[in-house]
């Protein structure tokens, strides 16, 4: 499409029925109470001139350009700050108003560099537009007076400039930073003529700015402008698509100039993000065209050989032949594959279909194994399906928000902004986390309770909260009686003294009274919602904890309406979708067990093959079987298991033991070092399909450019299947979605046509819910009755010892994503050039470590080195790092411990020792991002 310019109605929408009728320039319009005159006018088709107003921000009333006349009222009120009243008659154009507006514009223009013809915002400048709209023909004050022309331009941010000389001090950037993003990094410094936007008295890069882009988007001039626009010029066309980073799944306008992507701008109609973005989605797309990308298939007989570029036909034929040879020698079950949560639903679907139908086994797994597989297990056991219960909008109706083991401001920043907005409005916050994450205290945000538990004690804490709810008679008895089963047995268990807050206080480190107060708040504070992340799932009792949270929500009736629920914050963009599409070895698409004869029969008929009724190998089982010798070949789609999975030595030993490793990826990643076939993949800018985000929202991913590799990933997979004598062919990805819909009841109503028409839908989407289901379990649980499950606390086997006295927990930060393959190839490295070890000053001091020292980090399975950074975010005895850089190899030290039900690794608890490393080695000071020194050691 041509460049999409979304309408700006000036002020935000108000909820409620359109009960107030007014006349604007004689045109009647009905709007909800509280709507501004400006918005009412816009809805009637009349645009009132404005500069400081935009509909993503509350009215401010500073520019005085939007003045109107209202019958019966004195003066010329600002239409942005004036709410409608029944019967109001508004005049938006008159000689008086024209004169006033021209006067305002004269003042603005008298202090604005008139370089419009060479300005980067030429054609996209509201100041320029308004000059035309108000009919400005002269500036009586001249241009020689006091001005800001010499203000320096701040170019410190890698992605945008702040050209202060063009600032009109409308405060839109300052308000966007506060209202939309919730960071409050910007302010107006000085008074009167000296007023200027300031990033806290420093440059943008040194400030609290998180580079979300909200200020750039809000700026009406070229003051805050993307560097790509400055460099390339204004875009001329738009492709609507979906971000490929985290599980929030933001909708974006990819804006191009010819075939070149100029910028990504968040889409106001995007259901997940409603016009907001973060530094990754907004700016960090350069990896898609990075020179490191491999665009040609490559082969090698041995991993010691050099790669040999080949054509697609050769690569596909070689792969298929080798897979069949290995099966002939070692058995049908000797091969398998891993689907990717970074690819589309359609691409995932064809991989699992290839494995089940062409490979003839169920050895398919996905990276959700190492993140949210316990969510799948726990929510299915209790509620009946593996899905978050709410849409993101729901948080606006929450009165109590409990964040457990998640760091939304870093991991899911756009949702965090929604959450912070609600907290600023008055919702109470409970944070359950060993670390003092930013949400605990940040501008205008303070957690009512921070339960700073010891790593590995989640279940003890959630049980203690449930104990309080039960023993203090805070149970929603009606909800439990009508909607749930198993309550009495659970109640007997949870009421036991060993589950009381006092009994677990020493173990968890959470003061009993604090825990009791948090439990009371959750149970009695109104709508209470749980949001959780990998701090819940990546434990030996990850699945138990998920069920524990579900128990708590059911006991208090916090399920089945807006503002409540149990919600996993999914890590990667399509984790939800990859799980939905049948990526787990025991489940066909739609979470149906492979042993279900009826379900399997439906697939067998459609796919034309008998399917195996037994579960296949999970990822860690594949590694074990590879080392043992019965698993000989692996197809890995878009997942760097050699960096992301725990106990790197074990993973790489497994990969090295295989006869064939096929990697389908954008880059030669760590896993590719062990590969024999490299099949170049497509970036999200080339994909055509759908992603499903953490709120079950199915969004279209539209191709911004053709595949740089010459083929879509689903085509490659289908051709491998065909070369293995399994007929699989699609002309278009919409046909794949049609097949998914035909086989999966929760997707029965989904099609590309519907998505193009509605923008997005949330599954279940079928005859019962033709436009999708924003909130689940409203009238009943998917499994019928919600099921209470007893969740005894069992301590992890991983304990601190004299040799390894500290506990390491891992996570991620805002600017980097997962293993960093994408974000390390963007300007985001400016914020995080290396992984560091956050260590409490006390723990550092007793080891003779000073801030910035290079230290060794050792566990019972491995050792690595990285730089120490002092932090009191963790309690004494706990250290923290990220896993974004392969040179650090954080997973060299994580262990084989895993969730009992799903084998999700226990990344969050590893007993370690930290020591001073001296002297530094050359590679420690010149990280290339491509080495694994700890392994080389």
Partner 1 sequence: MHTDISPQVRMANEIAVQFRHQAPELAAPAIAEHIQAFWEPRMRAELLRRIETEPDAFDPLALAAARLVRR
Residues 357-376 that bind partner 1 (CB under 8 A): 362-363
Nearest distance, CB of residue 615 and partner 1, angstroms: 6
Binding map of partner 1 across residues 74-93, x = CB under 8 A, - = no contact: --------------------
Tokens 């999708």 belong to: 772
At its nearest, how many Å lie between partner 1 and the CB of residue 864? 18
Query: Among 687-695, 743-751, 792-800, 921-929, which window interacts with partner 1 (CB under 8 A)?
Result: 792-800
What mask of x and - would describe binding to partner 1 in positions 894 to 923, judged by CB under 8 A?
--x-x-xxxx-------x------------
Minimum distance from CB of 548 to partner 1 (Å)?
12
Of residues 319, 298, 322, the one with CA closest to residue 308? 298
Q: Which of 174, 617, 720, 775 binds partner 1 (CB under 8 A)?
A: 617
Neighbours of 561 (CB within 10 A): 16
Least gap, CB of 243 to partner 1 (angstroms): 33
Stretch that binds partner 1, among 46-54, 70-78, 465-473, 617-625 (CB under 8 A): 617-625
Residue range at the interface with partner 1 (CB under 8 A); choices 383-391, 614-622, 675-683, 726-734: 614-622
Q: Which is nearer to partner 1, 528 or 789 (CB)?
A: 789
C-alpha separations of 230 from 121, 155, 158, 219 in Å: 8, 12, 13, 15
Angle among Cα 287, 289, 290 to the nearest 5 degrees reads 60
Interface stretch with partner 1, choices 20-28, 45-53, 192-200, 786-794 (CB under 8 A): 786-794
CA distances from 470 to 286, 332, 460, 495, 672 (A): 53, 52, 15, 7, 53
Q: Does 630 bind partner 1 (CB under 8 A)?
A: yes
Tokens for 635, please give them.
Answer: 């197809």
Q: Going by C-beta distance under 8 Å and a sequence separation of 6 or more, which residues neighbour residue 185? A: 177, 199, 200, 207, 208, 209, 210
340 token code pair: 């990717």
CB 579 within 8 A of CB 404: no
The reply to whether 649 sits near partner 1 by the rule CB under 8 A is no
Between 300 and 860, name the residue whose CB sits nearer to partner 1.
860
Using the minimum distance from each CB to partner 1, give the nearer residue, 266 or 862. 862
Q: Rounded to the nearest 10 degrees, what angle do helices 542-555 and 487-494 cross at?
A: 110
Choose between 126 and 906: whose C-beta lies nearer to partner 1.
906
**Closer to partner 1 at the Cβ: 94 or 595?**
595
Please identify, using beta-carbon distances, which residue of 68 and 654 lies nearer to partner 1: 654
Stretch binding partner 1 (CB under 8 A), from 413-421, 470-478, 712-720, 795-803: 795-803
**Alpha-carbon gap, residue 710 to 684, rounded angstroms:** 15
> Can you tell me the distance from the alpha carbon of 10 to that of 13, in angstroms, rounded to the nearest whole number?
9
Q: Identify which of residues 545 and 662 has a Cβ nearer to partner 1 in the complex.
A: 545
What is the H or E stretch that residue 697 is in?
A: strand 697-701
- Residue with token string 């013809």: 117
Residue range at the interface with partner 1 (CB under 8 A); choices 619-627, 669-677, 753-761, 819-827: 619-627
Q: Note the Cα 636 to chain centre separation in Å.
A: 23
| Span from 140-148, 623-631, 689-697, 929-937 in contact with partner 1 (CB under 8 A) | 623-631
In the complex, least distance from residue 474 CB atom to partner 1, rounded to whole angstroms: 24
Tokens representing residue 385 in the block? 């399906």
Site map (CB under 8 A) of partner 1, residues 441-480, x = contact:
----------------------------------------
Which among 352-360, 429-437, 569-577, 608-616 is the span making contact with partner 1, rule CB under 8 A? 608-616
Q: Least distance (Å) from partner 1 to the CB of residue 499?
A: 11
Q: How far is the CB of 671 from partner 1 (least distance, A)?
A: 21
- Does the footprint of partner 1 cover residue 799 (CB under 8 A)? yes
Q: Which is nearer to partner 1, 341 or 800 (CB)?
A: 800
By CB under 8 A, residue 328 contacts partner 1: no
Binding mask 165-184 for partner 1 (x = CB under 8 A): --------------------
* Binds partner 1 by CB under 8 A, chosen from 292, 472, 610, 614: 614
Our finding on whether 586 is near partner 1 (CB under 8 A) is yes
Looking at the Cβ atoms of 6 and 489, the one nearer to partner 1 is 489
Residue 83: strand, helix, or coil: strand
DSSP 217-228: HH-SSSSEEEHH
How far, in Å, CA of 402 to CA of 400, rounded? 7
CB of 858 to partner 1, least distance (A): 13
- Please give the structure tokens belonging to residue 358: 């062409």
Instruction: Judge contact between 764 and 875, C-beta under 8 A.
Output: no
Cα–Cα distance measured from residue 931 to residue 937, given in angstroms and rounded to the nearest whole number: 11
Give whole-number Cα distances, 670 to 317, 628, 675, 890, in Å.
Answer: 25, 22, 9, 13
DSSP symbols for 465-514: HHHHHHHTT---HHHHHHHEESHHHHHHHHTSGGGSHHHHHHHH---HHH
d(Cα 666, Cα 395) in Å, to the nearest integer?
A: 36
Q: Mask 330-359, x = binds partner 1 (CB under 8 A)? A: ---x--------------------------
- What is the secondary structure of 166-196 as a DSSP string? G-----HHHHIIIIII-----EEESSGGG-E
How many residues form the binding site for partner 1 (CB under 8 A)?
Answer: 37
Is 570:372 a contact under the CB 8 Å cutoff?
A: yes
If one asks whether residue 616 binds partner 1 (CB under 8 A), the answer comes out as yes
Q: List the 160-163 sheet strands across, edge first.
A: 153-154, 160-163, 224-226
Nearest CB to partner 1, comparing residues 795 and 929? 795
Spatial CA neighbour of 64 closest among 53, 73, 54: 53
Question: Which residues, numbered 13-42, are part of the site for partner 1 (CB under 8 A)?
Answer: none
- In this structure, are residues 581 and 341 in contact, taking their beta carbons and an 8 Å threshold? no
Tally: H helices and E strands in the chain: 30, 39
- Binding letters toward partner 1, positions 215-234, x by CB under 8 A: --------------------
Give me Rg for the CA atoms of the chain.
Answer: 29
792 forms part of the interface with partner 1 (CB under 8 A)? yes
Q: Among 768, 801, 850, 923, indicate the residue that binds partner 1 (CB under 8 A).
A: 801
Report yes or no: 787 and 381 within 8 Å, Cβ to Cβ: yes
Decide if residue 615 touches partner 1 (CB under 8 A). yes
Residues 255-314 that bind partner 1 (CB under 8 A): none
493 near partner 1, rule: CB under 8 A: yes
Q: Which of 9, 625, 776, 879 binds partner 1 (CB under 8 A)?
A: 625
Report, in Å, the least distance between residue 906 CB and partner 1.
Answer: 11
Does position 689 interact with partner 1 (CB under 8 A)? The reply is no
Return the closest-CA partner of residue 371 out of 931, 906, 814, 813. 906
Among 861, 869, 916, 935, binds partner 1 (CB under 8 A): 861
| Closest distance of CB 802 from partner 1, Å | 12
Show the tokens assigned to 567: 């919600």
* Whether the Cβ atoms of residue 528 and residue 558 lie closer than 8 Å to each other: yes
Q: What does DSSP assign to residue 43?
A: H
Work out the number of other CB atoms within 10 angstroms of the CB of residue 497. 9
Binding mask 518-547 for partner 1 (x = CB under 8 A): ----------------------xx--x---
Q: Which residues bind partner 1 (CB under 8 A)?
A: 333, 362-363, 493, 540-541, 544, 585-586, 593, 595, 614-618, 620-621, 624-625, 630, 790, 792, 794, 797-799, 801, 860-861, 896, 898, 900-903, 911
């Amino acid at each position: 499409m041509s460049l999409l310019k979304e309408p700006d109605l000036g002020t935000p929408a108000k909820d409620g029925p359109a009960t107030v009728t007014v006349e604007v320039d004689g045109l009647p319009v009905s709007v909800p109470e509280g709507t501004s005159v400006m918005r009412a006018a816009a809805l009637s088709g009349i645009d009132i001139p404005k500069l400081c107003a935009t509909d993503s921000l509350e009215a401010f009333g500073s520019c005085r350009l939007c003045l109107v006349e209202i019958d019966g009222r004195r003066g010329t009120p600002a239409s942005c700050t004036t709410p409608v009243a029944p019967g109001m008659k508004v005049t938006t154009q008159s000689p008086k108003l024209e004169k006033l507006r021209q006067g305002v514009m004269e003042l603005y223009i008298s202090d604005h560099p008139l370089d419009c013809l060479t300005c980067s915002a030429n054609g996209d400048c509201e100041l320029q537009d308004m000059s035309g709209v108000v009919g400005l023909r002269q500036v009586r004050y001249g241009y020689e007076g006091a001005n800001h022309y010499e203000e320096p331009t701040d170019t410190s941010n890698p992605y945008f400039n702040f050209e202060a000389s063009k600032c009109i001090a409308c405060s839109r950037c300052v308000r966007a930073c506060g209202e939309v993003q919730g960071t409050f990094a910007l302010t107006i410094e000085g008074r009167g003529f000296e007023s200027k936007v300031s990033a806290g008295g420093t440059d943008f890069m040194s400030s609290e700015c998180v580079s979300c882009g909200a200020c750039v988007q809000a700026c009406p001039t070229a003051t805050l402008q993307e560097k790509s626009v400055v460099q390339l010029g204004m875009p001329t066309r738009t492709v609507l698509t979906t971000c490929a980073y985290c599980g929030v799944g933001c909708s974006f306008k990819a804006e191009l100039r010819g075939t070149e992507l100029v910028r990504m701008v968040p889409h106001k109609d995007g259901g997940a993000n409603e016009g907001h973005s973060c530094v990754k989605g907004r700016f960090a797309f350069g990896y898609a065209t990075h020179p490191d990308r491999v665009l040609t298939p490559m082969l090698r007989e041995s991993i010691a050989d050099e790669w040999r570029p080949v054509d697609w036909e050769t690569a596909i034929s070689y792969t298929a032949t080798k897979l069949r040879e290995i099966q002939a020698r070692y058995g049908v079950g000797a091969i398998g594959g891993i689907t990717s949560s970074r690819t589309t639903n359609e691409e995932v679907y064809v991989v699992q279909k290839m494995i089940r139908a062409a490979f003839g086994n169920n050895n398919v797994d996905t990276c959700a194994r190492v993140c949210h597989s316990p969510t799948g297990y726990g929510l299915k056991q209790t509620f009946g399906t593996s899905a978050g219960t709410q849409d993101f909008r729901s948080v606006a109706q929450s009165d109590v928000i409990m964040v457990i083991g998640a760091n939304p401001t870093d991991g899911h920043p756009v949702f965090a902004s929604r959450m912070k907005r609600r907290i600023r409005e008055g919702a109470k916050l409970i944070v359950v986390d060993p670390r003092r994450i930013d949400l605990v205290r940040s501008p205008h945000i303070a957690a009512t309770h921070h339960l700073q538990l010891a790593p590995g004690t989640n279940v003890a804490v959630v049980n203690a909260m449930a104990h309080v709810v039960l023993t203090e008679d805070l149970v929603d008895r009606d909800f439990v009686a009508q909607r749930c089963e198993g309550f009495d047995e659970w109640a007997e268990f949870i009421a036991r003294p060993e589950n009381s807050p006092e009994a677990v206080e020493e173990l968890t480190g959470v003061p009993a009274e604090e825990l009791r107060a948090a439990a009371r708040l959750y149970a009695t504070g109104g709508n209470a919602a749980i949001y959780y992340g990998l701090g819940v799932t990546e434990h030996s009792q990850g699945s138990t904890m998920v069920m524990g949270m579900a128990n708590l929500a059911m006991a208090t009736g916090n399920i089945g309406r807006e503002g409540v629920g149990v919600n996993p914050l999914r890590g990667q963009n399509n984790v939800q979708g990859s799980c939905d599409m049948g990526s787990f070895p025991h489940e066909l698409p739609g979470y149906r067990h492979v042993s279900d004869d009826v379900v399997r029969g439906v697939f067998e008929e459609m796919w034309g093959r008998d399917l195996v009724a037994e579960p296949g190998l999970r990822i860690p089982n594949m590694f074990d079987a590879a080392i043992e010798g019965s698993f000989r070949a692996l197809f890995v789609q878009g997942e760097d298991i050699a960096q992301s999975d725990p106990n790197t030595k074990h993973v790489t030993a497994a990969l090295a033991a295989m006869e064939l490793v096929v990697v389908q990826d954008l880059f030669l990643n760590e896993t590719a070092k062990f590969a024999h076939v490299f099949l170049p993949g497509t970036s999200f800018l080339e994909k055509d399909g759908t992603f499903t985000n953490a709120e079950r929202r199915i969004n279209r991913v539209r191709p911004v450019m053709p595949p740089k590799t010459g083929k879509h990933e689903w085509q490659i997979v289908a051709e491998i299947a065909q070369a293995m004598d399994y007929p699989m062919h699609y002309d278009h990805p919409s046909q794949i979605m049609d097949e998914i819909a035909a086989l999966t009841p929760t997707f029965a109503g989904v099609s590309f046509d519907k998505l193009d028409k509605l923008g997005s839908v949330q599954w279940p989407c079928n005859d019962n819910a033709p436009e999708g289901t924003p909130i689940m379990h409203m009238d009943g649980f998917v499994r019928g009755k919600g099921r209470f499950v007893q969740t005894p606390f069992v301590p992890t086997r991983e304990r601190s010892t004299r040799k390894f006295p500290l506990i390491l927990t891992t996570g991620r930060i805002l600017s980097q994503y997962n293993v960093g393959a994408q974000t390390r190839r963007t300007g985001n490295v400016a914020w995080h050039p290396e992984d560091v070890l956050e260590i409490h000053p006390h723990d550092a001091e007793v080891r003779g470590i000073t801030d910035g020292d290079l230290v060794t980090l050792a566990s019972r399975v491995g050792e690595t080195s990285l730089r120490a950074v002092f932090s009191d975010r963790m309690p004494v005895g706990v250290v923290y790092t990220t896993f974004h850089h392969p040179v650090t190899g954080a997973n060299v030290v994580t262990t084989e411990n895993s969730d009992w039900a799903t084998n999700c690794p226990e990344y969050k608890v590893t007993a370690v020792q930290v020591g001073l490393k001296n002297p530094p080695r050359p590679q420690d000071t010149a990280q290339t991002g491509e080495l694994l020194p700890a392994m080389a050691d």
